[in-house]
């Protein structure tokens, strides 16, 4: 979990950042919504091991629909040692067309293979007609395109369900998802509700949604669990509250600045949240001292802040009512008064980071 000190002057760039709308473009899936102030996972280069002597019969046997639901990987190279972007949004397009946009190459220079564990895998073509076979994989099954269209139709239906209201109860969203699965012929699939780990302080609430991705607060594509043939539904706050969190996270993650007392930091975060929401927001603060193992993970600069008694933000979430923001702070109460190298900084030195218009 990243540890980020509160900042003083956010400037015009952060004013622009906080006013940006949340993008809903589907990006790589993640199994659980990011909790607290964890950085968003973006499509990036990772090593994906995709070999293993896969036979064509194994692909067909598991069903092309399941294969599509497992996702799409785009490899920057011709072999299994290549890096690539995983869980690339397909949106009903062929694997090579989707990867062409991701990789910045022509689709005709790519070849798509099938892996029963990771879905479709696209490589740069080496000119060998048996490239998939040489990689221990199989060509895409003949009915992949029709299965891809069905999965895309399901994702669109699930997205429409979610967009129906700002806060739909999880059970109601599950009923709608099950109706979509039955209508579109997804035999053996079902919607399941994952309430999360109640023992953790999380980004929670009374509403149903789908897992988040790097660019969407709720992604129907990320909800498809091909291994279990389920549509995963999570619990969280209303969409409008999630959007506030999404807009505030870049501000809180923007960088380091001056050292704040506990009171000054609390006033600062209230100002940032109120500006993002364009209203007075309910906020609760949880203040803790970092345990020894967490202190060891702090970088030199953050450790310097912490050792002086500066307040460091640990996370931003919501309480179970879905309306109250829960901000977790770390403050070393045993340290000296906060000092950023220019003498102690009193609470009276606080200046709002953003001016309400």
The predicted-structure confidence for 72-113, as pLDDT tens digits, reads as follows 999 999 888 888 888 899 999 999 999 999 999 999 999 999
**How many percent of the chain have pLDDT more than 70?**
67
What stretch of H or E contains 10? none
Q: Is the dihedral of CA 80, 86, 89, 92 positive or negative?
A: positive
pLDDT band at 327 (very low <50, low <70, confident <90, very high): confident
pLDDT band at 204 (very low <50, low <70, confident <90, very high): confident
pLDDT band at 17 (very low <50, low <70, confident <90, very high): very low
What is the pLDDT, as a whole number, of residue 126? 92
306 touches 289 (CB < 8 A): no
The predicted-structure confidence for 26-77, as pLDDT tens digits, reads as follows 333 343 444 433 333 333 333 333 333 343 333 333 489 999 999 999 999 9
Average pLDDT value for the chain: 75
Pinpoint the alpha helices (H) of the chain: 11-19, 56-62, 64-69, 95-103, 131-134, 144-162, 170-183, 220-223, 239-252, 262-277, 292-297, 300-307
Q: Has residue 4 got a pLDDT over 60?
A: no
Which tokens go with 352? 């709002």
What is the pLDDT, as a whole number, of residue 107? 95
Angle CA(133)–CA(66)–CA(144) in degrees, nearest 5?
Answer: 60
Q: Kindly report which listed range (6-15, 169-178, 181-190, 230-239) carries the lowest average pLDDT score.
A: 6-15
As a dihedral over the C-alpha atoms of residue 185, residue 188, residue 191, residue 195, rounded to 10 degrees, the angle is: -170
Q: Which residue has the higher pLDDT, 343 or 295?
A: 295
Q: What gap in Å lies between CA 317 and CA 169, rounded to an integer? A: 19
Question: Cα 145 to chain center, whole Å?
Answer: 28
What is the pLDDT, as a whole number, of residue 292? 61
Q: Has residue 227 got a pLDDT over 70?
A: yes
**pLDDT, mean of residues 149-163:** 95
Q: Has residue 23 got a pLDDT over 60?
A: no
pLDDT band at 347 (very low <50, low <70, confident <90, very high): very low
Q: Has residue 258 got a pLDDT over 90?
A: no
Q: Which of 60, 56, 46, 39 is nearest to 250 (CA)?
A: 39
Residue 222: CB partners within 8 Å, gap ≥ 6? Answer: 26, 28, 29, 30, 31, 87, 210, 211, 212, 213, 216, 232
Q: Kindly report which listed range (150-154, 162-166, 259-263) carries the lowest average pLDDT score.
A: 259-263
Q: Kindly report which listed range (100-109, 151-160, 241-250) carries the lowest average pLDDT score.
A: 241-250
- CA neighbours closer than 13 Å in the CB half-sphere of residue 300: 0
**DSSP class of residue 85?**
E
Which tokens go with 251? 């501000």
Which tokens go with 216? 């969407």
What is the pLDDT, as a whole number, of residue 257? 54
What is the pLDDT, as a whole number, of residue 249? 74
pLDDT band at 318 (very low <50, low <70, confident <90, very high): confident
């Amino acid at each position: 979990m990243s540890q980020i000190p509160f900042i003083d002057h956010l400037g015009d760039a952060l004013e622009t950042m906080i006013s940006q709308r949340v993008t809903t473009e589907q990006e790589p899936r993640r199994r659980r919504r990011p909790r607290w102030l964890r950085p968003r996972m973006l499509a990036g280069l990772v090593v994906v091991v995709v070999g293993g002597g896969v036979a064509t019969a194994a692909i067909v046997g598991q069903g092309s629909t399941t294969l599509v639901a497992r996702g799409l990987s785009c490899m920057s190279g011709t072999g299994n040692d290549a890096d690539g972007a995983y869980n690339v949004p397909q949106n009903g397009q062929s694997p090579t067309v989707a990867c062409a946009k991701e990789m910045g190459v022509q689709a005709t220079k790519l070849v798509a293979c099938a892996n029963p564990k990771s879905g479709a895998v696209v490589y740069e073509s080496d000119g060998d007609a048996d490239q998939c076979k040489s990689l221990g994989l199989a060509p895409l099954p003949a009915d992949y395109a029709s299965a891809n269209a069905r999965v895309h139709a399901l994702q669109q239906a699930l997205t429409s369900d979610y967009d129906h209201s700002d806060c739909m109860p999880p059970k109601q969203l599950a009923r709608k998802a099950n109706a979509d699965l039955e209508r579109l012929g997804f035999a053996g699939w079902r919607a399941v509700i994952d309430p999360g780990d109640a023992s953790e302080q999380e980004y929670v609430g009374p509403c149903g949604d789908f897992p988040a991705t790097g660019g969407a607060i709720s992604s129907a594509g990320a909800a498809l669990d091909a291994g279990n043939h389920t549509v995963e539904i999570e619990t969280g706050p209303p969409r409008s509250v999630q959007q506030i969190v999404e807009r505030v996270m870049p501000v809180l993650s923007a960088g380091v600045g001056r050292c704040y007392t506990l009171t000054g930091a609390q006033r600062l975060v209230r100002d940032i949240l109120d500006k993002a929401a364009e209203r007075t927001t309910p906020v609760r603060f949880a203040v803790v001292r970092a345990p020894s193992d967490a202190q060891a993970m702090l970088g030199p600069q953050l450790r310097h802040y912490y050792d002086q008694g500066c307040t460091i933000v640990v996370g931003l979430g919501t309480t179970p009512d879905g309306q109250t923001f829960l901000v977790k702070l770390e403050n070393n109460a045993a340290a000296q008064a906060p000092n950023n190298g220019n003498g102690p900084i009193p609470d009276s030195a606080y200046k709002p980071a953003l001016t309400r218009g």
